[in-house]
Amino acid sequence: MRVLITGGAGFIGSHLVDALVARGEDCTVLDDLSRGSRDNLAHLTDRVTLIEGSVTDQDLVEDLAPEFDAIYHLASVVGVRSTIANPAQVIEVAVTGTANLIRAAAPDAAFLVASSSEIYGRSVATPFDEQTPGLLGPPQAARWSYAHAKACMEHLALATGSTSRRPASVIRYFNVFGPRMPRSVDPSVITVFLDAAQAGQDLVIYGDGSQTRSFVFVQDAVDGTIAACERGSGAVVNLGGPQETSISDLAEQILSTTSSNSTVQRIALPAALGLTSEEPHRRSATGVLAAELLDWKPQTSLNEGLQTTWSSWPA
C-alpha cells in the first residue's frame, strides 16, 4: 500500500513512519523540515521517499496526494511559543494544508487528521470524552490560535462524511513523549526537564506544580494512530488515558530516572507570554471510545517511557 505521511520527519511522524515501513508499506514523507529533521529518517535510508515541501503548497499537494491509498496528516506548527509568535502561520498550515489534502486525496483513500487535546481548552470536565465541549479563549489571545485551528481541521475532516469521498478519521493526541522529541524548537516539558537534569540545572516549574497531564508514550500513540486510520473512519478518538500526573511528580520522576542532583524551582508563569490565566489545570481522557472502537489503551507506563526516552537522550 502507498502511504503519505505529512510531518513524517517530525517526532511522532517519524515513529509512525518506522511502524509503517516495518509493516511493509511504501512510504512517502512530506515535510517542510521547520520542526522535523532528515536525521529522524536517516536510519531508513532508501526505504522512504522524503519530499521537502509544505502542505500549504496547493500545486505540490495536488500533484502528490492522489497517488496514495492512505494519508496520515500530522503536519502542524506545534508549541505554545511558536503559536504566540506566529498565529497566522499556525492557522494557515492547519486549515489551508488540511483543505488542500482533502481536495487532492483520492476519494477512496484512507485519510487521518491528527488533532490535539488542546481543543478542550480550559474545560474542567476531566477526564474528557470525545463529546466534551471545548472552552477556548478569545481570538484576541494568540495562545488559542492553535486550538481554534485544530478545531477547524476537525470540521474539515468530518465534513468529508457528507461528500462522495471516504470519511476521514480524527485523533486527538494527549501529551505524547519519547525519543526524538524536539529539543530546540518549542520543547515540551519533558524535554526541558531532561535537558535540565542532564546539565545539572534546576527543573523550573511554573506555578505550584499541581497542574496535571495525561502523558502517552510515542509508540502507544503510533499504534493508536494506525488503528484509527484503519478502523476509525468518520470518528473522532482521543489517544490518551485517565491517569493524570502532576508536573511536580513528573519532575521528581525525571530526577529519579536521570539520577540527577538537580533541584526543583517553582516560579510564577511569565506574564510576558500572556499565559497567566490561560493554561488548563488538568487534562486527561476517559479512553473509553479508543478501547471500544480501536481496541487501544496506553500500554507503556510513564516510568517505563521515561526510562526508554532517557536511554536515547543525546549527550
Active site residue 146: yes
Asked whether the beta carbons of 174 and 238 are under 8 A apart, the reply is yes
Q: Which of 72, 146, 173, 206 is catalytic?
A: 146
Whether the ω angle into residue 127 lies within 30 degrees of 0, i.e. cis, is yes
CA–CA dist 51, 36 (Å, integer): 12
Classify each residue of 110-149 as buried b or exposed e, where b means 16 or more C-beta atoms within 10 Å of its C-beta: bbbbbbbbbbbbbbeebbbebebebebbeeeebbbbbbbb
Asked whether the beta carbons of 172 and 117 are under 8 A apart, the reply is yes
CA–CA dist 46, 110 (Å, integer): 25
Asked whether the beta carbons of 266 and 205 are under 8 A apart, the reply is yes
Spatial neighbors of 30 by CB under 8 A, at least 6 apart, are 4, 5, 6, 7, 8, 51, 53, 55, 60, 61, 64, 75
The four Cα atoms 303, 305, 307, 310 give a dihedral, to 10 degrees, of -130
CA–CA dist 241, 288 (Å, integer): 9
**What one-letter code names the amino acid at 210?**
S
DSSP SS3 for 30: strand
H or E element that contains 112:
strand 110-116
**The three grid cell numbers given for residue 183, joined into one nine-digit string:** 529539543
Return the sign of the alpha-carbon dihedral for residues 66, 67, 69, 70.
negative
DSSP 68-92: -SEEEE------HHHHHH-HHHHHI
Active site members? 146
